[in-house]
Structure 1
Amino acid sequence: MDLIGKLWGFCNKLRHDGVDASDYIEQLTYLLFLKMAQEKGAFVPKQHDWESLIKIDEDGLLLKQLDKILERLKKEDGILGDIFSDPVSRVKNAKILRALIDEINSIQWTKFEGDIVGLTFEELIGRVANEGKKGAGQYFTPRPLIQSIVNVFKPDPLEALDFNVGDVAVGTAGFLITANEWFKEQTKGKRISKKQLDRIKNETYFGQELVQRPRRLALMNMFLHNINAQIKLGDTIYGEQDSILYSCILTNPPFGTKGANQIPDRDFPVRTSDKQLNFVQHIIEKLKPKGRAAIVLPDSCLQSDAAKKMWEFYLNADQSESQSCKLHTILKLPEGVFAAYANGIKACVVFIQKGSKTDQTWIYDLRKDFQKITTKSNMLKAEHFNDFEYCYGNDPNGNSKRTATDRFKVFTIEDVRKKKYDLSFVEVYKPEDLPQPIQIIDEMIIDYQNKIKALMKLKKDLSK
């Protein structure tokens, strides 16, 4: 079933009711959450659940019931109240609402494997953004990339009694969902105590999001995965800071310069208005000692003047443990990875560990001589990262024994210093030189001569 097409059809119904493009997602979120909560048996107060909607026959009462549900659920404690925080129903036509409810009710949404909510809504937001002429890239990281990062980083809540996972730009919670699914797969069939399961459910997954709508989706996503994630609404860089530190941070801070014209009043080593660099500094600040982070960044964060100053500070062996950083791996992503939302941006993933010294940095170049990723003909797939994961090794902090390849090269801290902390290291992957044209022509002549000989023999055999 084409779920994206189905949801887009729902949006068309909302459009006919005069609902603005920017409100499509929110209105569908309310209804889909109630339906999926019913399917999973999740707690929603009686008379304010999905069943209370579908049993109403009179169109006039339907709109009133939806308003009643939203008004009640926003008063609930915990994650349910957060999901329905400040809800407004913008559907005014009872017949359109009835049609939406009937269509949503005809689908068993939770039968689909994986992160259905995040995946479908993220593409839907992309379509809505195109219609509304607003950027959507801030919410998304392609799932194959997320899965690969999680595979090598191994965010295991059983690694330590206080192990936790954070995403400081959580979007619709793709990283947190994938991290939790990875853990479930790794521990399938293993006995885990009730105390540990309670901690994992309630005290392990954290996030922060600037915009209410993706936060609402993130909370809904985690709730439907039976995780009580703590996802704060607010500005990660400029807003009020809490004291929570993280064992592992997986994140893709928003690209672009919007909102980045102000130097934050924070005690960062490098004072800059560069939004992405401030996210890096914030992330390192929020890591526990020996904590690790994987950060998706534009290439500018490897080579701009402010970036070089920042990396010089963190990679300096003389810094204290609270400020030093081991940048052990950089993954250069193929061109077009973010084609659906921000075409043309070159991006990478940096893998760091706080409180350790950088002796060398390995760079895996998945860009050079690699076919550009597109949204249709050459979509990003999990297998694109198979060799990277093999080269990375089993240790999440980059301590596995590694072997250099055509794509995977190592640079010492002395190499980095010689380049004045410019980490771009272009042309890491050097394909083999192509043979000379005369050599190619000679090989083609020999090939054709062999084919002619074979045809002559076949002709002779047939004439006997």
Structure 2
Amino acid sequence: MSNNEIVQKLWNLCDVLRDDGINYSDYVTELVLLLFIKMEHENAQSGVMAGHKLPEGARWPDIAKLSGLNLLNYYRETLLDLSKSTDPLLAAIYADAQTRLKEPRHLEQLIRSIDAIDWFSAQRDGLGDLYEGLLEKNATETKSGAGQYFTPRPLIDSIVALIDPQPGETVQDPAAGTAGFLIAADAYIKARTDNLYDLKESQRSFQRNQAFIGMELVPGTRRLALMNCLLHGMEGDEAGVVHLGNTLGNAGTELPKTHIILSNPPFGTAKGGGGPTRDDFTFTTSNKQLAFVQHIYRHLKDGGRAAVVLPDNVLFESGVGAEIRRDLMDKCRLHTILRLPTGIFYAQGVKTNVLFFDKVSDNSEAATQEVWVYDLRANMPRFGKRTPLTRTHFADFETAYSAATRTDQGEQGRFRRFSREWIKERGDSLDIAWLKDDNAEDAADLPEPAVLAQEAVTELEGALAELQALLRELGEEVVE
């Protein structure tokens, strides 16, 4: 069986959950609580994992041998016991975990169906990859919540290849989600070091426990990330690879400076015009992406490199947006912007970009002398289930990016160079386009009205927050 076939079989088990009255949004959480126990057993049996992580009594055979009400009660107690585990990582994974299943026969059906899967085939590609496939399946089906901005795997793999993480470097994602960027960076290094066996034992230990760190605000998403990392052989520190916390709050100040930062921060504006609560940011803004940009270039080590996915409004927002872009270009060498195709994220109509930059020095001025822009948006196919985004769609960009000497392809080409002086004359706007997009004239390709309305609300909230901040500076009373 292929990985995709196994993923589809697992996804079909959601029918059982629905029959038990479990909400669509809770399918994956409910399924993975049980599935992780099975995968841990398979990894321990095959030697992929150095012994069991789960204690005796909480392993798959202990649960699978039971039936009826005894099974359901035992499973509930097992989840509770795991949440109180003395192993900090297990306690974090199963924190507040509880099943919403009410019918013992449904739990029995899930266990039988999971046992019937060809786990030998699953092991061939790695259980971590199978788990990743399930998360991606959830993203493509739900169209909302975590799936709304699920970063496509081909895009992640392309970004990681260009950033080229090396053994011994630290990699951070301050908006980790289910840890896709961190896992891809780990896989990239493992593929070039014979699964770390080319490294010394001290180096292997560093890669497993210290090389990667992330932060995630939502406990349920962090649970998925911790499971995902552990199934890929990434354990992290006592709190795991992905810590629970708000990067834009005090927790974010505790994240270390790192060699590499890869991230796709959540889109939108802080509700109610509020902004980050950190006091180490120079610029106050309610735009979450602009706040994350500040975190990222502040938490890069000198000589470090970053790639961050950002929506169009971050590139052209005036006022504080322009100030943050200016500060970024002064402190870092913003060398490349990739304009991504519309619709590759599962919220149709969202226009995004990848900014690639290197940290020069906190004290340098005008580190950015030129910016290269690759337009992968104009005249591209409409991506979706019929036309899936693949790694080959990034091949020409990767070639242009990695060329020993970059070439400006002119007004008819996709890759062009723009000087820092030219950008400054445009008010430091980085929303740069030159190709005529024939697809843009097709009304069917326009974003949904709800998407357009949300973009307008985001812009208005940002403008309102800036005006309120100005009034406060002038000592005027602000009506919220």
CA distance in 2: counterparts of 1:211 and 1:177, whole angstroms: 19
Give CA deviations for 1:14-44 in whole Å, capped at 9, x if unaligned: 1211223332222111111011111110421
TM alignment of 1:3-14, pairs within 5 A: 3-14=6-17
Match of residue 242 from structure 1: 254
Query: What residue is the counterpart of 1:454 in the other structure?
Result: none
Per-residue deviation at 1:288? 1.5
The question of whether the paired residues in 1 share the 8 Å contact of 2:260 and 2:305 is answered with yes
User: 2:305 aligned with 1:292, yes or no?
Assistant: yes
**SS of 2:273 mapped into structure 1:** coil
Cα displacement (A) at 1:376: 1.7
2:81 maps to 1:72: yes
Which has the higher mean CA deviation after the structures are superposed, 376-385 or 109-118? 109-118
Assess, with a 3 A threshold, how the Cα gap between structure 1 residues 421 and 262 changes in structure 2: closer, same or farther: same
Q: 1:368 aligns with which of 378, 388, 391?
A: 378
Equivalent position to 1:119, from 133, 136, 161: 133
Counterpart of 1:351?
A: 356
The reply on whether 1:25 has 2:34 as its aligned counterpart is no
Q: Which structure 2 residues correspond to residues 322-333 of structure 1 after superposition, within 5 A?
A: 324-333=331-340
8 Å Cα contact 2:165/2:185 also seen in 1: yes
Aligned residue identity for 1:111: R
Aligned partners of 1:428 and 1:281: how far apart in 2? 30
Deviations 1:150-206 (A, max 9, x none): 010011123xxxx21111111111111111111111122862100100011000111
> Which consecutive residues of structure 1, in runs of 5 or more, have no partner in the other structure?
317-323, 395-399, 432-464
Which of the numbers 48, 58, 74 marks the counterpart of 1:48? Answer: 58
Mapping of residues 292-441 of structure 1, within 5 Å: 292-305=305-318, 306-316=320-330, 324-338=331-345, 341-355=346-360, 357-373=367-383, 375-393=384-402, 400-405=404-409, 406-428=413-435
| Partner AA of 1:303 in structure 2 | F
TM-score (norm 2): 0.80
Is the contact made by 1:139 and 1:172 (CA closer than 8 Å) also made in structure 2? Answer: no
Q: Deviations over 1:243-269 (max 9, x none)?
A: 511110111001133547212233323
Q: Distance in 2 between matches of 1:250 and 1:314?
A: 16
The residue type equivalent to 1:346 in the other structure is K
The number of aligned residues is 407
Q: Distance in 2 between matches of 1:112 and 1:256?
A: 36
Aligned to 2:335, what secondary structure does the other structure show?
A: strand
Aligned-partner SS, 1:326: strand
Q: Which of 180, 185, 188 does residue 191 from structure 2 map onto?
A: 185
Work out whether residues 365 and 429 of structure 1, in 8 Å CA contact, stay in contact via their aligned partners in 2. no
Q: Distance in 1 between matches of 2:149 and 2:61?
A: 32
Give the SS at the match of 1:115.
helix
Q: CA deviation digits over 1:270-306, x for unaligned, max 9?
A: 2211111111111112211221110000011111103
Pick closer, same or farther for the CA change 1:23–1:6 going to 2, 3 Å: same
Q: Tell me, what secondary structure is at the counterpart of 2:229?
A: helix
Alignment-derived partner of residue 460 in structure 1: none
- Give the Cα separation in 2 of the matches to 1:276 and 1:348: 12
Contact 2:176 2:216 survives alignment (8 Å): yes
> Where in structure 2 are the equivalents of 1:188-203 lying within 5 Å?
188=194, 191-203=198-210
**Which residue identity does 2:181 align to in structure 1?**
F
Match of 1:437 in 2: none
Per-residue deviation, 1:370? 1.7
Deviation at 1:382, TM superposition (A): 0.4
State how far apart, in whole Å, the 2-side matches of 1:260 and 1:307 are: 19
The one-letter amino acid of 2:263's match is T
**Deviations 1:365-416 (Å, cap 9, x if unpaired)?**
111122222x22211010000111111117xxxxx43122211111111111
Superposition deviation, residue 315 in structure 1: 2.0
Instruction: Give RMSD over aligned pairs.
Output: 2.1
**Change in 2 beyond 3 A, CA 1:149/1:80:** same
Which of 214, 222, 225 pairs up with 2:229? 222
* Distance of 2:304 and 2:432 partners within structure 1: 26
**Native 8 Å contact 1:36 1:110 kept in 2:** no
Displacement, 1:227?
A: 0.8
4+ residue runs over 4 A deviation: 428-431
Normalised by the size of structure 1, how large is the TM-score? 0.83
Task: From 125, 140, 145, give the equivalent of 2:150.
Answer: 140
Aligned to 1:39: 42
CA deviation after TM superposition for structure 1 residue 85, in Å: 1.1
Query: Of the candidates 204, 207, 211, which is equivalent to residue 214 of structure 2?
Result: 207
2:13 counterpart SS class: helix
Paired letter, 1:365 = D
* 1:450 equivalent in structure 2: none
Distance (Å, rounded) in 1 between the aligned partners of 2:73 and 2:133: 31
CA distance in 1, matches of 2:183, 2:108: 32
Aligned partner of residue 28 in structure 1, secondary structure:
helix
Instruction: Give the number of the structure whose alpha-carbon radius of gyration is greater.
Output: 1
**Given the superposition, is the C-alpha separation of residues 34 and 430 from structure 1 closer, same or farther in structure 2, using an over 3 Å criterion?**
closer
2:181 is aligned to: 175
Equivalent position of 1:436 in the other structure:
none
CA distance in 2, matches of 1:315, 1:293: 13
Give the corresponding residue for 1:457: none
- Give the percent of matched residue pairs that are identical in Structure 1 and Structure 2: 39
Structure 1 equivalent of residue 110 of structure 2: 100
Is contact 1:4–1:124 with CA below 8 Å preserved after alignment?
no
2:79 and 2:165 map into 1 onto residues whose CA distance is 35
Equivalents in 1 of 2:255, 2:23: separation in Å?
A: 39
Question: Is residue 2:267 matched to residue 1:264?
Answer: no
Is the alpha carbon distance of 1:411 and 1:260 closer, same or farther for their aligned partners in structure 2, counting shifts above 3 Å?
farther
CA distance in 2, matches of 1:353, 1:197: 26
